[in-house]
Amino acid sequence: MDIPQLQQSAGTLCENLSRVIFGKEELIRKVVLSLLCGGHILLEDMPGTGKTTLAKALAKSIRCNFKRVQFTPDLLPSDLTGINFYNQKAGEFVFKEGSVFTNILLGDEINRATPRTQSSLLECMEERQVSVDGVTYPLPAPYLVIATQNPIEVQGTFPLPEAQLDRFFLKLKMGYPGAAFETDMLTGFVKVHPLETLEPVLDAETVLDMQKTVKEVAVSRSIAEYIVRLAEATRSHEKIKLGVSPRGSLALMRAAQAHAAMAGREFVLPDDVKEILPDVWGHRILCKGYNLGQTTDAPREMLQILLKQVDAPTEQASL
């Protein structure tokens, strides 16, 4: 697949999702961007803003399997990964797959599960595999985890640790739709839910081809150096307690590649880095005086300051 084909396919997917999620074109583009990078998404917003609907619409649009797990304190790691049980008829132990064996996994209110259960997702998200009793089972491809959490109800929750947050490619907020879009939503839902009539526009093989194409987008050394300078700025700033990890630098580069590809370009520009940086790094840094994962705009505001302080390469040097 070439870049123009990727741009057209990504646009078709975004348009299809817009039939269900009203007035969130920018959010939808970022979700598709994350899918093209094979990155997981942390959605944080109030209940009823369409987080579950978005995940279902994405899975249906790319003709992939979808599973939803409600994270609760009594949820066990084996509920996610699976267990070996003894089959009396066969006279042997048989592996029963858990909820993570799907293409699109929605983890609803992930911060309500215990740290033990949360950590069971680490191997799934990073390695795309599950290890049970010494045996490794690969997960389907493509594989995307969309986790949600409510920023208001924090009593009885277990905040995600840094190691878990760093596994999420993007952290996004749904937000409320504008009045006009909410009116369109109400009129569109009068007779039937648009999700019920949504048709697939891509398939799993096409998504995998698009993911390969993204990796072929050229990244000049000046762009790589720019990303590293930004990362070092987060690690040395006096108001930042925890800077961006090398995994975060790699994630930003990959996001910039996808951003360029969706714009129809075969190379990354500094603007690609600037545009997507807050969503890729906003949950990866810890500002002094705040707790990691705390609902605050301080990290994103700090990143905007760093973007102004760190010199970007010229467009000619980026080619």
- Which DSSP string corresponds to the chain? --HHHHHHHHHHHHHHHHTTSTT-HHHHHHHHHHHHHT-EEEEE--TTSSHHHHHHHHHHHTT--EEEEE--TT--HHHHHEEEEEETTTTEEEEEE-TT-SSEEEEETGGGS-HHHHHTHHHHHHHSEEEETTEEEEPPSS-EEEEEE-SS--TT--PPPHHHHTTEEEEE---PPPHHHHHHHHHHTSSS-HHHH------HHHHHHHHHHHHTSB--HHHHHHHHHHHHHHHH-TTEEE---HHHHHHHHHHHHHHHHHTT-SB--HHHHHHHHHHHHTTT-EETTS-TT-S-SHHHHHHHHHHHHSPPPPHHHH-
pLDDT recorded at residue 164: 81
pLDDT recorded at residue 156: 61
pLDDT tens for each residue of 237-259 = 888 888 899 999 999 999 999 99
Given a contact cutoff of 8 angstroms between Cβ atoms, the answer to whether 240 and 282 are in contact is no
Q: What is the CATH number of domain 9-203?
A: 3.40.50.300
Distance CA 220, CA 264 (A): 17
Region of 240 please: left (phi>0), alpha (psi -120 to 50) or beta.
Answer: beta
* Percentage, residues of the chain above pLDDT 70: 95
pLDDT recorded at residue 41: 94
Residue 214 burial (CB count, 10 A): 24
pLDDT tens for each residue of 131-170 = 888 888 999 999 999 998 877 666 667 778 777 888 899 9
Q: Would you state the structure tokens that stand for residue 14, as one six-digit string?
A: 């975004």
Can you list the residues of the chain whose pLDDT is less than 70?
152-156, 290-296, 315-319
Q: What are phi and psi of 196, to 5 degrees?
A: -70, -25
Q: What is the CATH number of domain 217-310?
A: 1.10.8.80
Residue of 78, 108, 111 lying closest to 95 (CA atoms): 78
Question: Would you list the domain boundaries of the chain?
Answer: 9-203, 217-310
Average pLDDT, the chain: 88
pLDDT tens for each residue of 287-317 = 877 665 455 678 888 999 999 999 988 766 5
